[in-house]
Chain A
Amino acid sequence: RKEVEQDPGPFNVPEGATVAFNCTYSNSASQSFFWYRQDCRKEPKLLMSVYSSGNEDGRFTAQLNRASQYISLLIRDSKLSDSATYLCVVNGPAAGNKLTFGGGTRVLVKP
């Protein structure tokens, strides 16, 4: 089983719609969680950290469910520029405080 698993997609989303997807992680000792965004042939860029209480940044909402070991990302009012691959990233002492990346979920927003 992979340490961090994501649905690869693609999620085809009409412009203006809402899309949500999850990521599961296997290590219950994981402490920090992030969503990164990666555009084609570019480096990953931090989208947001994910806190236990859940957090929102504009149109993006992230949730953490420790009991079920998953995190989620919801994008409201999708823009064409939201088309990208979203990487779920987990960090924890068991991994030597190194980041472990999921395979990414591809989102395509269409007019």
Chain B
Amino acid sequence: GAVVSQHPSWVICKSGTSVKIECRSLDFQATTMFWYRQFPKQSLMLMATSNEGSKATYEQGVEKDKFLINHASLTLSTLTVTSAHPEDSSFYICSARVNRGRTDTQYFGPGTRLTVL
């Protein structure tokens, strides 16, 4: 399958600081990437769709000014959690969409575990 990387894999920060998470497609170009969040014992919830060269599309209830997404190239999307608070602590996972034959498939990055103190 396609390879997607994320950095950092985990981060601990103080409340009020901003945290930037990078998502890279390593062996393919991705015009569309997705950002998900997963709280303990819950399923993945889509936060936003990141489109190369244009603004991200946010899901209902996700604050675009708090979760800044930039998709500046075909292999890189970044998510910045601004002024993070303890309730933002979660597992953030990106994915990239690839068209493989009969259907589009999404491959996920390894995730970033954010803990806000």
Contacts and interface: CB of A to CB of B under 8 A. Distances in A.
B43 A104 contact: yes
Q: Which of B91, B102, B108, B113 has the most CB of A within 10 A?
A: B108
A96 interface: yes
Q: Is the interface of A mostly helix, strand, loop or mixed?
A: strand
Interface stretch (A40-48, A57-65, A76-84): A40-48
A49 B43 contact: no
A32 B46 CA distance: 17
Contacts of A51: 102
A32 B104 contact: yes
Interface residues of A, number: 21
A97 B93 contact: no
Contact of A46 (B1, B45, B46, B91): B1
Contacts of A45: 1, 108
Contacts of A41: 91, 113
A32 B113 contact: no
Contacts of B106: 46, 99
Contacts of A98: 34, 46, 49
A101 interface: yes
25 contacts: A41-B91, A41-B113, A42-B111, A43-B109, A43-B110, A43-B111, A44-B44, A44-B93, A44-B108, A45-B1, A45-B108, A46-B1, A46-B106, A49-B102, A49-B105, A91-B103, A91-B104, A98-B34, A99-B34, A99-B46, A99-B106, A100-B46, A101-B44, A101-B45, A103-B43
The 6 closest A-B pairs by CB, nearest first: A43-B108, A103-B43, A101-B43, A43-B111, A101-B44, A32-B103
